[in-house]
A = this chain, B = another copy of it.
Amino acid sequence: MDPIEFTPIGTIHSPFTDLEGMPIQPAGARDGVGTVVIDPAYEAGLKDLEGFSHIYLIYHFHRAGPTRLRVIPFLDTREHGVFATRAPSRPNPIGISLVELVEVQGNRLTIRGIDVLDGTPLLDIKPYIGGFDRVDGSRGGWLESSADEIAKKRSDDRFI
């Protein structure tokens, strides 16, 4: 299939400057405050975003290592298919994080609960809409860790 080219629309700034020791997911970074700086050319696209309490950030895992189809994720000791995990070593290293939107000022967003590396290239922003995006009673496969366990976990160097 033909390749598709995307160009980042901005940059995510976070407290995390090192791939080791990062929270695994936003649930493990509830208090981490970050900033998203959008290219001023796209600022008009942010109108009315501030009405949403939560947004998805879609970004490029720009520091991901080579693709691995089987991985041992941070939250387990067994090997799983990469599509059954959130590991960055995917064929297309695209990440999504659901974060709390604190404030929009011009082309800058303040966000809470960020779990990505400082300097991550942003590809898209979408509003979180409870009616579409909230699932009650989902089944979590191998990953049935409690939120508490996930919050305590930190990354190491396995995907660098």
Q: Chain A 81-105, CB within 8 Å of chain B: the 1/0 string?
A: 1111110001110101010000000
Chain B residues, Cβ within 8 Å of A51? 84, 139-142
- Decide: A131 near B6, CB < 8 A? Known: A70-B47, A91-B45, A96-B58: no
Instruction: Report which of B6, B39, B131 forms a contact with A147, defined as CB distance below 8 A.
Output: B131
- Contact pick for A84, options B7, B47, B124, B136, CB 8 Å: B47
Q: How many Å from the CB of A72 to the closest CB on chain B?
A: 12
B150 touching A48, Cβ below 8 Å: no
Q: Which residue of chain B has its CB nearest to the CB of A68? A: B45
| Contact of A9 with B52 in the complex, beta carbons under 8 Å | no
A53 at the interface (CB under 8 A from B): yes
Pairwise interchain contact B4-A121, C-beta atoms closer than 8 A? yes
Q: Which residues of A contact B (CB under 8 A)?
A: 1-9, 11, 25-27, 39, 42, 44-54, 56, 58, 60, 69-70, 79-86, 90-92, 94, 96, 98, 121, 123-136, 138-143, 145-147, 150
5 residue pairs, one from A and one from B, having the closest CB atoms? A51-B141, A47-B81, A53-B139, A45-B69, A44-B69
In the complex, given contacts A25-B131, A58-B94, A83-B126, what are 18 additional A-B residue pairs having Cβ atoms less than 8 angstroms apart? A1-B8, A2-B7, A3-B7, A4-B7, A6-B6, A6-B92, A9-B92, A42-B91, A45-B81, A45-B82, A47-B79, A49-B83, A83-B127, A98-B133, A127-B140, A130-B138, A131-B146, A131-B147
